[in-house]
Amino acid sequence: MKPKVTTFGSFMMDLVAYTPRRPESGETLRGESFAIALGGKGFNQAIAAGRAGAQSAMLGNLGTDGFGDDFMKAFGAEGVQASDIERSSELGTGVGHISVQTSDGDNSIIIIPQSNDLGTAAYIARHSKTIIESNILLLQLELPNDGNLAAAKLAKENNVTVVLTPAPVAPLTGWGGLVDVVVPNEGEAAALTGIEGDLEKQAEALSKQLGCKYVVITLGPKGAYVTDGERSEVIGAPKVSAVDTIGAGDTMCANLATRLASGDDIFAATK
């Protein structure tokens, strides 16, 4: 039987404009190209968990607009359980407005959460069964904190392993004792701990702050620093020619969760 990995997270329809430079105030600038892509950390992780071999389920909120339809079609095509997703006629699907300078790849992003803000504790109360029946619960910090904390508490009360991606960076007030595995990148680990350049001390601080045993700090092409509180190891990443790193961290976290749910220890799962 496939392990069940449930993701409670966000949806963002990314609207990407590629321009030679940013427009000045009041200026209309001709762009070079435009793209639309389904995103949001929650959506990315749910899709990746399914592709990694898990029975993947998604909890969250969409609008009743065309963008919401696009996300639901994607779940159908990927075989992700989406029956718990609620859709609002008042708040549209979340949108990310992204401007990319083609000269150097620099980008700026405006995020409009919209229906994502409906991911509250009340929503979790209506969909508790899906979390209780899971092996792993994946969480991020793009949704309202009360919803995330309610989901984490429910998971812990029912022996469901909680894996947290602490992004975007936000205070971790109230999270103590609710996380089993925390998976930040280098920048997030530094921002959350106030410690620069020392992976061991960052991991110790995060473990103490959250009361969790396992810390995995992703290092991009260098792999990941992994610790269980007693043993620590830097696990190298396969050498690849990266085409696009968007969503790479979400994909790694979902694969890690799937391997943990399948019985691997934290070191084998990270590999």
Q: Is position 250 annotated as part of the catalytic site?
A: yes
Strands 61-63 and 55-59: unpaired
Query: d(Cα 231, Cα 215) in Å, to the nearest integer?
Result: 11
Crossing angle of the two packed helices 66-78 and 41-51, in degrees rounded to 10: 20
Q: Residue-wise over 136-147: b if at least 16 C-beta within 10 A, else e? A: bbbbbbbbbbeb
Q: Which residue has the tokens 């779940």?
A: 75
Task: Write down the catalytic residue from 104, 250, 264, 265.
Answer: 250
The tokens for 6 are: 């449930």
Peptide bond into 168 cis (omega under 30): yes
Largest CA distance in the chain: 58
* Residues belonging to the active site: 250
